[in-house]
Amino acid sequence: MDTITLAHGSGGRLSRELIEEIIYPIFNNNNGHELYDSALLPLKKGTIAMTTDSFVISPIFFPGGNIGKLAACGTINDLAAAGAIPKYMSVGLIIEEGFLIKDLQEILISLYETAVEADVYVVTGDTKIVERGSADRIYINTSGIGIVPEGASVSPKNINVDDLVIVNGTIGDHGMAILSCREGLSFGVNLKSDCTPLNGLVKELLDVGGISCMRDPTRGGLASILLELAHQSGTKMEICEKAIPLHPSVRAGCDMLGLDPLYLANEGKLAIIANPSKEEEIMRVLQSHPLGKNAQVIGRVASRDLKGTVLLETDLGVKRPLMLLEGEELPRIC
Amino acid sequence: MKLHNTERNYSEKLKDIETLARGLPAVSIMEICGTHTMAIGRSGLRRVLPDNIRLISGPGCPVCVTHDREIDNYLELAKDKRVIIATFGDLLRVPGSKGTLNAARSQGAGVVVVYSTLEALRLASNNPDHEVVFLGVGFETTAPTAALSIIQAKSQGLGNYSVYSMHKLVPPALEALLCDGSVKLDGFICPGHVSTIIGTSPYTFVAEQYKKPCVITGFEIHDILDGLYLLLLQMRQNKAKIDIQYIRGVKPDGNPIARKTMDTVFRTGDVLWRGFGVIPNSGLHIREEYRDYDASVKFGLAMDHHYINEKEAICSCGDILKGLKTPNECDLFKGLCTPLNPFGPCMVSTEGACAAYYRYEA
């Protein structure tokens, strides 16, 4: 059978075959953990971090990844940005009747390979099949558990005046790569989603020390995450427009569609707030790592401010406050 | 802190503008393209220009000038279960008198956001049991692609595709503004994208008849600075002509193929503009030979030129689109009217003057 049918979700023979013949062989290889309805996880000392996220993206295949890779990266990066070492992950699948099994396999293999790359075990999961029209092909939920090593702390509470604001590379690549899949839009050169697990890079950064806080700027983009951090830490941040690294295709696409790259989604980026005394070492670690070679210091924490303000210094030297996005960003007509 | 540096030297360009502005009387320059309005807002340009140079936003956002009657017409159409509305994203949140396309979609209306007319055509081809209506909002930039989609639909024999043409033309609006004379304007930053299609000649009357300098300008901030420089230079030299700053995008004769496509499908006619009322020969109607692809004929969408727009009477969009008021001079601005709860299209469109002021200048 080439496609998913409702019978695959019946709990009967086809359900069992789907799990045992399609899903299980993909996830059973990376861990030594059996896939049961509940996983029993041995945990070391430290604080446990737990996260969950659901992925309902369209298109499900895009330049640089697919929904499976995204589902793994999303959870791994949420854990990593909290200073945790990601360990275990669950995968919940909601699949529309008629979905191609070969597409499911490709998606799950991507998810599996990303988990392996991040040294994360997929230990439990769930599969539901819904009638055609009840879902948009496939939705994935992933939850993850990680361990925060004793003594490690990354939190908005740690953010201090004079801390640096750093990004590990060009922003908006994922959001624009998704848009570039649309018919009639072409940005020419090689624009791929930045979708990737960041836990390796985060570990190296935490080893250097001086990291006050980190966040992965996914939906809502860099602007939203900085506003959230400023609000949570009660500070005013100042960032500099010309310091923010942008892929030329993201710049061109934003110009064409009237979008602001500061609000485009990222899936392999970190906003890092760090003590200035560690600037040199942090930048050395970032720029010698493949996921941080375009890292830039883009600003600093300027003062205490209970309102939580982020000022953007434009190319013309004007400082204007960034605002939270009101509704979704809509591409313009011309 | 080590900051990335770029080679663009904006401060030098600003100094050149200051030098030219020195000794000029107070001048008001209108940018007649919403993309310029947004770029100016985003960069903070207004705050660093010399005091005697004032930039005024004009009627250059195609969503903002779309009349409430047109919006109500397509919202009514969206209720028809046979119809799938294909639209660019701008229109989703634009409020008519009874809701938005977004709200209609959440209540089950067939509304699909497309990024090109090619997508709209494919939607029609993939949904033979539905009528796909493409919402043709835009100026000369987008009208040719809408026209092309009609030509293609006819050649493919696609009987379930039509365009609701709300297209408008920029030069007649300029003429209406200049004839009106209620706002003092000394020069124009003309739109780059529109000019890519129409070239320079449709603006000639502005320079020759009204003696106002014009510069067709690109959308990056260095383009706008260069455009202002060229404009002030004309003023200093007491000249009024049509300069092209955006030479990488605009040829003096524009794009004759796109214009021919547009002329094949559309004819000009009088249409209602939000904030302006009827402007003669400023709209594009679908020609008789393509009436099968004209949604206003297919679905009997009426346009009443005496239509009273109650909302417009309360909000200041007319004065804002004419440059008589800035958005923050409207009583509704940031109170009753916000991007999440917009009173009119100027607050919701990504090219709208009110949206630009709300986000960048308020």
Q: What is the pLDDT of residues B196-254, one digit of tens each?
A: 999 999 999 999 999 999 999 999 899 999 999 999 999 999 999 999 999 999 999 99
- At residue B6 the predicted structure's pLDDT band, cuts being 50, 70 and 90, is very low
The pLDDT score that the predictor gives to residue B43 is 94
SS3 B273: strand
Of B44, B115, B122, the CB nearest to A331: B115
Q: How far does chain B reach from its first CA to its final CA, in angstroms?
A: 30
The pLDDT score that the predictor gives to residue A5 is 85
- In angstroms and rounded to an integer, the radius of gyration of the C-alpha atoms of chain A is 21
> How many Cβ contacts (< 8 angstroms) between chains A and B?
120
Residue A167: Cβ within 10 Å count: 26
pLDDT digits (tens, 9 = 90+) for B313-351: 788 888 998 889 999 999 999 998 988 888 888 998 888
Residue B65 contacts residue B89 (beta carbons within 8 Å): no
The pLDDT score that the predictor gives to residue B8 is 47
The verdict on a CB contact (< 8 Å) between A331 and B4 is: no
Measure the CA–CA gap between B46 and A318, rounded to whole angstroms: 10
The verdict on a CB contact (< 8 Å) between A315 and B351 is: no
pLDDT digits (tens, 9 = 90+) for A9-43: 777 778 878 888 888 888 876 566 666 667 777 77
Q: How far does chain A reach from its first CA to its final CA, in angstroms?
A: 46
Residue A32: Cβ within 10 Å count: 7
Between A137-141, A329-333, B111-115, B190-194, the lowest mean confidence (pLDDT) is in A329-333
**Which residues of chain A neighbour B87 with C-beta distances below 8 Å?**
none
**Which residues of chain A neighbour B118 with C-beta distances below 8 Å?**
183-184
**Which residues of chain A neighbour B116 with C-beta distances below 8 Å?**
182-185
Return the closest-CA partner of residue A269 out of A53, A68, A77, A76.
Answer: A77
Cβ neighbours of residue B285 closer than 8 Å, sequence gap 6 or more: B165, B266, B267, B268, B269, B294
Residue A317: Cβ within 10 Å count: 16
The pLDDT score that the predictor gives to residue A32 is 60
The verdict on a CB contact (< 8 Å) between A315 and B221 is: yes
Residues in chain A where the model's pLDDT stays below 70: 29-37, 183-189, 333-334
Site from A254, A316, A322 to mutate, B interface, most B CB atoms within 10 angstroms: A316
Of A185, A314, A332, the CB nearest to B351: A332
> Is the pLDDT reported for residue B54 higher than 70?
yes
The pLDDT score that the predictor gives to residue B1 is 38
- At residue B2 the predicted structure's pLDDT band, cuts being 50, 70 and 90, is very low
Q: Where are the beta strands (DSSP E) in chain A?
A: 47-55, 61-62, 65-66, 85-96, 121-130, 138-148, 164-167, 211-215, 235-240, 271-274, 296-304, 309-313, 319-321
Greatest Cα pair distance, chain B, in angstroms, is: 67
Site from B43, B111, B334 to mutate, A interface, most A CB atoms within 10 angstroms: B43
Mean pLDDT of B166-193: 94
Angle at B218 (CA atoms; ends B213, B219), nearest 5 degrees: 120
Measure the CA–CA gap between B149 and B163, rounded to whole angstroms: 9
Per DSSP, helices labelled H in chain A are: 13-17, 24-27, 67-81, 101-117, 173-180, 199-208, 221-233, 248-257, 279-287
pLDDT digits (tens, 9 = 90+) for B60-97: 899 999 998 999 999 999 999 999 999 998 899 899 88
Using a pLDDT cut of 70, give the percent of chain B over it.
96
The pLDDT score that the predictor gives to residue A34 is 62
The verdict on a CB contact (< 8 Å) between A242 and B339 is: no
The verdict on a CB contact (< 8 Å) between A183 and B14 is: no
The pLDDT score that the predictor gives to residue A36 is 64
Return the closest-CA partner of residue B60 out of A2, A99, A333.
Answer: A333
At A145, the amino acid letter reads I
Say whether the peptide bond before residue A321 is cis (omega within 30 degrees of 0). Answer: no
B3 min Cα distance to partner chain A (Å): 6
SS (H, E, C) B162-206: EEEECCECHHHHHHHHHHHCCCCCCEEEEEHHHHHHHCCHHHHHH
The pLDDT score that the predictor gives to residue A184 is 57
B65 min Cα distance to partner chain A (Å): 13
Q: Is B213 left (phi over 0), alpha (psi -120 to 50) or beta?
A: beta
**ipTM value of the model?**
0.85
- In angstroms and rounded to an integer, the radius of gyration of the C-alpha atoms of chain B is 21
Measure the CA–CA gap between A193 and A208, rounded to whole angstroms: 28
SS3 B294: strand
The verdict on a CB contact (< 8 Å) between A316 and B45 is: yes
Strands B187-191 and B214-217: parallel
- Please count the helices (runs of H) and the strands (runs of E) in chain B: 16, 11
**Which residues of chain B neighbour A136 with C-beta distances below 8 Å?**
none
The pLDDT score that the predictor gives to residue A108 is 97
For residue B135, give the chain A residue with the closest CA: A333
Residue A82 contacts residue A148 (beta carbons within 8 Å): yes
Could you tell me the CA-to-CA distances from A152 to A204, B321, B332 in Å, in that order? Answer: 13, 56, 50
The pLDDT score that the predictor gives to residue A308 is 95
